[in-house]
Structure 1
Amino acid sequence: MKITVIRPAELGASEIARWREIQQTDPELGNPFLAPEFTLGVARFRPRVRVAVVEEGDKVTAFFPYERGRAGIGHPVGFGLTDLQGIIAPPDLELDARRLLKECRLGVWDFNHLLAHQSAFAPFHTVRRVEPVMDLRDGFEAFITEARNAAPKTHKTVRYKERKLAREVGEIGYVFDCRDEAELTRLMAWKSDQYNRTGRTDRFARPWIVELVRHFHRTGFGVLSILYAGQRPVSAHFGLRDGAVMAGWFPAYDTRFAKYSPGMIGHLRLAQGCAEAGITEIAMGRGGKEFKEGLKGREIPIAEGRVALPLSRHGGGAALHWVRTAPLNRARTAALGNRRLYDLADRALRTYARLRPARTGRM
């Protein structure tokens, strides 16, 4: 087995074709976060992105995209932005994960949304959970019937608020694939406001993420969908599409219309738009949102953990990384796995967000 590390831009047409061929060997590899377009896009703005190409004989058998940080600390490409991670390899590929890290000059590789069934990394899992998926294979009507049966009260409430929004604000309209960059800018502003309002880190305060999202929108890999009421945009969603799979990414709404639950209305319209566009599933991402339970048709097992070489081989960087991140990871995992803890953490973050401007003003 030969492992060669290259820059994503060095991937040729034959390698991209082989990447896509391998994706066909495992249904879960069809997620946009595992598509070559995602790695190539992130690499435009993150110069330390690399791809390890695994060969057996004269045939490429796997691709391992990653980002190498300081002190040999490795992460999946777009770490912190991705809802699915893994190696692009057939399910039956036998691979030594520690040898892979050594060839990549990594002391540790941290992951938090890894495909749990990938055997090379299974010994290094610390937590396993599931990611919900909206199943549209049988069309929108079949999907909405299942959703209504799974959560009748929620569905009834959303439909009532949709009618109320139409009466009080204006006729409902929906654009599945909006190409207007001004609308994308509006979505990012809404999302930044949400991050700050709820005490989360504002991803769009990082210029490279803004440019990455714009790049995906311009190339068509990203799909911007807008819900309108009386010509006014009230909610939006930016997701990534790879063939028949959509990965939910950035949903947001205008808080002036919060009482109508425009985000929920938008999710149902998104499902309809996806089904009409030939998309068979929407990966909703991990998280503690109750509404996802009423929309999911299946689940993808995912895992958190880390692969590390023996300390003598990579120095203290990985150990220091573990000390810094392990307590936070454990706290996050506990909150995501317990609805009561999730709600407590959410309220604490919102309280922090309200106090933050006042505290900043006293500095």
Structure 2
Amino acid sequence: MSRTALQAVAFDELSPAQLDAWHKLRAINPMLDSPYFHPGFAGAVHAAGNPVHVYVGTGPTGEVESLFPVHRDGGVLRPVGWPGADFQGPILAPGTAYPVGALLGGGVRALEFDHLLELAGDFQPWITGSRPSPYLDTTGGLDGYLSRASKSGKDNMGQARRRTAKAEREIGPVRFVADSLDEGDLAKVVELKRAQYAATGAKDYFAEPGRRQLLTDLLRTRGTEFAGILSTLYAGDTLLAAHFGIRSGGVLHWWFPVYDPAHAGLAPGWMLLRELTMAAPEMGFTRIDLGRGDDEYKRRAKTGETPVCQGMVTRSSARRALRAARESLVTAAKDSPLGPQLRRVVRKLRTIKR
């Protein structure tokens, strides 16, 4: 790959041969089975109004060796779907080197990443930290999961079963829809998520209308190769919990889970996760990726985890130092006994312009 040439191509200008290479490279690299690496995700983000450019790497004979979908913000590149992409990196064959430095130039001063898979060792010098991204192995459905889960995971799934029965007694018949097409329920997911952002002081991901449109477009995308998946859990007429994610093949990515705060005592999120785990064989899922995060339920539910990396590719030592300092401050704030009081500080640090 040392002689690989990179060319930035707008997503909607990729040739059929380049898209075909995308599918082929992804198919031979098991690390790229997340729906975030499917061209359908990049295409949906691009169509929703956030332009995507793909750095296409070609070898000496013109064969496509890599594709890296990104957004460009001034002189900074960020992986496709930023800031809502939980897995990032170039599309390339296993063990293939990547010409990271070739991304810089032509006005591009840096590539920033925060959920990079360890796909190519060439990124190692630019990594400032790594954090776990938990997942559930759902092979065999609930019974299979329970055979691999920690004691905490088993206990919480048992409690979810009992709370589901309680909800049915006290609220109304419990109804789970694994793959709903109800856009009204999708609107409720966005509404509840925005209320959660407001209550916690987090930046509102859906403040940009294009991101709401992205979810609608993904919901309308059907098929098992790539699709949006909306799952809902009702008790009577009450929406207890819902989740919107994306799937590709046997992988479901847990993206926007919500629950009704009025029924928080039932832990409806666990109820929903249990239902999805039970439905996994019928839906064709063998893994639910929960995404990077410090949520206690992720720690309890996981059967394994995938490391994702944070860092910045840049020739500017000052820019790298600022990024490293920012990550150190965020980590220190999160690890401090005063963590709850420092959450707003952490969120402000994450929004500092790099």
The alignment's TM-score, normalised by the length of structure 2, stands at 0.88
On the 8 A contact 2:253/2:289 being kept in 1, the answer is yes
Given candidates 247, 262, 267, the residue that maps to 1:256 is: 262
Residues 1:291 and 1:212: Cα distance change in structure 2 (over 3 Å): same
On the 8 A contact 1:140/1:275 being kept in 2, the answer is no
Q: How far has the Cα of 1:63 moved from its partner? A: 0.2
**Alignment match, 1:20:** 23
The count of corresponding residues between Structure 1 and Structure 2 is 339
- Structure 1 SS opposite 2:327: helix
On the 8 A contact 1:3/1:53 being kept in 2, the answer is yes
**Alignment match, 2:73:** 69
**Alignment match, 2:329:** 331
Given candidates 135, 146, 149, the residue that maps to 1:147 is: 149
AA in 1 matched with 2:247: R
Give the alignment of 1:28-67 within 5 angstroms: 28-56=31-59, 57-67=61-71
On the 8 A contact 1:101/1:107 being kept in 2, the answer is yes
> In terms of mean alpha carbon deviation, does 226-235 or 326-335 score higher?
326-335
Distance 1:261 1:50 in 2: 41
Residues 1:141 and 1:13: Cα distance change in structure 2 (over 3 Å): farther
AA in 1 matched with 2:169: R
**Alignment match, 1:360:** none
Q: How far has the Cα of 1:144 moved from its partner? A: 2.9
**Alignment match, 2:298:** 292
AA in 1 matched with 2:269: G
On the 8 A contact 1:61/1:89 being kept in 2, the answer is yes
On the 8 A contact 2:141/2:277 being kept in 1, the answer is no
Identity %: 31
Q: How far has the Cα of 1:32 moved from its partner? A: 0.9
Distance 1:156 1:55 in 2: 52
Q: How far has the Cα of 1:217 moved from its partner? A: 1.0
Given candidates 57, 79, 82, the residue that maps to 2:82 is: 79
The answer to which structure has the higher helix fraction is 1
Distance 2:292 2:346 in 1: 23
- Structure 2 SS opposite 1:176: strand
Give the alignment of 1:180-191 within 5 angstroms: 180-191=182-193
**Alignment match, 1:159:** 161
Residues 1:153 and 1:47: Cα distance change in structure 2 (over 3 Å): closer
Distance 1:20 1:110 in 2: 25
Residues 1:2 and 1:117: Cα distance change in structure 2 (over 3 Å): closer
**Alignment match, 1:115:** 117
- Structure 1 SS opposite 2:40: helix
On the 8 A contact 1:243/1:279 being kept in 2, the answer is yes
AA in 1 matched with 2:130: R
Given candidates 246, 250, 259, the residue that maps to 1:244 is: 250
**Alignment match, 1:232:** 238
On the 8 A contact 2:153/2:302 being kept in 1, the answer is no
Distance 1:95 1:151 in 2: 39
Distance 1:94 1:100 in 2: 14
Q: How far has the Cα of 1:150 moved from its partner? A: 4.8
Unaligned 5+ segments in structure 2 are: 348-354
On the 8 A contact 2:113/2:312 being kept in 1, the answer is yes
Aligned-residue RMSD, C-alpha? 2.4
Give the alignment of 1:99-138 within 5 angstroms: 99-102=102-105, 105-138=107-140
> In terms of mean alpha carbon deviation, does 18-27 or 42-51 score higher?
42-51
Q: How far has the Cα of 1:151 moved from its partner? A: 3.6
Distance 2:196 2:21 in 1: 40
> In terms of mean alpha carbon deviation, does 144-153 or 1-10 score higher?
144-153
**Alignment match, 2:177:** 175
Residues 1:169 and 1:212: Cα distance change in structure 2 (over 3 Å): same
Residues 1:334 and 1:91: Cα distance change in structure 2 (over 3 Å): farther
- Structure 2 SS opposite 1:162: helix
The alignment's TM-score, normalised by the length of structure 1, stands at 0.86
AA in 2 matched with 1:333: T
**Alignment match, 1:222:** 228
On the 8 A contact 1:148/1:155 being kept in 2, the answer is no
Give the alignment of 1:338-349 within 5 angstroms: 338=335, 341=336, 344-349=338-343
Distance 2:330 2:161 in 1: 33
- Structure 2 SS opposite 1:81: coil
